[in-house]
Structure 1
Amino acid sequence: MELNDITRRIRAAETAAGRPEGSVTLIAVSKVQPDQRVEAVLDAGQRVFGENYVQEAQGKWPDWRERWPGVELHMIGPLQSNKAKVAVGLFDAIHTLDRMSLARKLAQAAEAQGRLPQLFVQVNTGDEPQKAGILADELPGFITQLRGLGLDPQGLMCIPPEGEDATPHFRLLRKLAEAEGLEKLSMGMSADFESAIAEGATHVRVGSAIFGKRDYSA
């Protein structure tokens, strides 16, 4: 199945980059995918999944987690501040922390629930006005503010501009992470995850290459 092919390609990319086998985590992006496709990937042994919508994830993953123990769930889509409480309880990692208002809500929810998912700060590496994310030159101040709230981000995430060579964006994200002492890099999707691994990605987000094309009309 496609999952096996993607896993082989990840292992090959790790080797080509001189990195240890298993140093890259595959996040299978299951948003808007039919249940039978996701369940087939669960049956095949995949346990790390990414979702873009809190409500969608809330409706399906509690049951799947009972049936397939050990699932790790990552929030990889835009997160509304009013969904922060639910997100803290549901997800093991949030990749789209991009503003202080959300950070405050996450800090409040984490204190109330006694748990805090791994946090990745989304960086707008292409300085695109229509895209979420902290601008590169604002990142140090933002990280300082997060730590002042008691939040300790583990890494950075980016979505390079569509139609551009992604490699310079991956390289920039790695440099920004190194400057802030952050070890995790969420970057690379179906079309470019091997390039991301070459530049140091620790998490790659692959959806359609595993599950097939999404049908948003369903």
Structure 2
Amino acid sequence: IAVVTRSLRRDSAVEVCEATAQTADLLHRLGHHVEYLDELPVPDSFVDDFVLYWALLSMALVRGGRRRFGPTFDVTRLDNLSRGLDRHAMRNLHRLPMAMARLAATRRRTNALFGRFDVVLTPTLAEIPPPIGYLDPMADYDQIINRLIDWVAFTPLHNITGEPAISLPLSSSDDGMPIGMMFGAALGQDATLIELAYELEEAAPFQRLGA
């Protein structure tokens, strides 16, 4: 099992890294071979390419919303995140072909990774849960997109490759907020993740909020 705590752009929060290390130690005690890696096998362009791909999807909503949802669709009522992504796509349409090609090639890199490891462990998110309003979609676009990139830092890789992943509530912060651990595997290895999840839940039963 490979362990990575550095996200696509930054190191995870200290508390999140500590929780990941505790999970890695649990895996070791259960008999799994654990090896730490410095980073995920993605190019430096991945984050920008992913945001542009996401922006393309938002552009389709903004520009085609009335055709898809009917005459009552009102683009002015969309949140700032959706409209900001639409603007980003319109300004960077010329970059889309190469961005999509680079994203499509990502699986070659992850295939090589899963040739060495059965499973990759990362935090689900790079930060502990933020206060309500921190990810307000009506905030300034630049603010919200940068906060999202920092926070949702590991899941985009699986969004692009289509490889399976599972998030398990294996830890919590000092103030009781859940810290998820994400396990990824090669395409078609969903059963490996489910079996591992059962093993981990038996060894360290998941905490129930409010219990």
Q: Given the two structures, how large is their TM-score scaled by the length of structure 2? A: 0.23
Quick check: which has more Rg, 1 or 2?
2
Q: Which has the higher contact order (CA 8 A, sep 6+)?
A: 2
Write 1 or 2 for the structure with the bigger share of helix: 2
Q: Given the two structures, how large is their TM-score scaled by the length of structure 1? A: 0.22
